[in-house]
Homo-oligomer: A and B are copies of this chain.
Amino acid sequence: MTTSTDATDRAVISELDAARRDFRDELLSAGLLFATGVEGLYGRGADFERVIDSIDARVLSEGRAAHGTAPKTLRFPPVFPRESFEKTDYIASFPNLTGAIRTFDGGNKEHRALLADREAGRDWDSHLESAGTMLVSAACHPSYSTLTGTLPEGGELLDIYGYCFRHEPAIDPARMQAFRMHEYVRVGDPQSAVEHRESWIPRGLQVLEDLGLDATPVIANDPFFGRAGKMLAANQRDENLKTELVVRLYGDLDDGTAVVSCNCHQDHFGETFDIRTADGEVAHSACVGFGMERIALAMFRTHGIDITRWPEHVRSELVA
């Protein structure tokens, strides 16, 4: 996204924001999403969830075709230990997206003080303390602490599905603060990690094609924070560590929306979580992440708001 203040750019951004707002309003009117009063946080209606479950069934069938029964199923709640969060180094790279949990840990007296501030219309956050937990930032993040130590021969392959949180309030319905991600994660030697990432690019494209979506693979980088982040982003591109599968939700108004991401983490998590291969080397890892809400939104944008009028070949992918 451009940060130029050139008048032509401003006009383009404004047209893009109007397109995003119109799409969101359409989703809300149809009862596919429900407003909560905060940008990027929505309730989901029955048809929206049916589409999510249908996408998930297709992702799982691709996973079975690729890996058989090898993947270990792991499902995490949306909250995980700060100690694991620290090892992801997320606070260094994406502090602005972070969600830290605080809670009340006092007695009657401290509670009365909190309620007095609340009664007076003052902020009561100062009465809270860290709960030692964080919101899950990427579905795979809570999994690495379960692998600390030595991996079995051949490494591990994980099937992970769960809610993620990223604090980036936006009009664009495709930029939610809370959304689901289904991942296949490979942890093992460097070659197996690279192969995992590479092999899921065509598989991801096939899944999207079967859902009637026109996606393009794009070499990409994460939105690393701040000045120091610019170098990390450039490195990630140069080393070809991230490929996003992109669908155009708003025509030519932007470069499209990433709905699937294929990433190689090299030895980052192996190092910080102390994960070793059977050979004693620091493990490498890679993952493919399907952004479930974004894929659903791409389908509503491409095939229309009313699922009963979707093309037959797409309807055949819908679960009951």
List the interface of chain A (C-beta within 8 A of B). Answer: 34-38, 41-46, 48-49, 72-81, 83-84, 91-92, 95-108, 111, 114-115, 118, 123-125, 128, 130-133, 135, 142-143, 145-146, 163, 165, 167, 176-179, 225-228
B91 contacts A98, CB within 8 Å?
A: no
A101 contacts B100, CB within 8 Å?
A: yes
The answer, among B91, B99, B111, B135, for a CB contact under 8 Å with A226, is: B111
Give chain B nearest CB distance to A212 CB in angstroms: 23
A100 contacts B125, CB within 8 Å?
A: yes
Give chain B nearest CB distance to A31 CB in angstroms: 8
Chain A contact surface mostly: mixed
B45 contacts A73, CB within 8 Å?
A: yes
Closest to A293 in B: B77
29 contacts between A and B (CB under 8 A): A37-B81, A37-B83, A37-B145, A38-B81, A38-B133, A41-B77, A41-B81, A43-B146, A49-B75, A77-B176, A77-B177, A78-B78, A78-B178, A79-B165, A91-B114, A91-B124, A97-B103, A98-B103, A99-B103, A99-B133, A100-B125, A100-B128, A101-B101, A101-B135, A102-B102, A102-B125, A108-B227, A125-B130, A163-B163
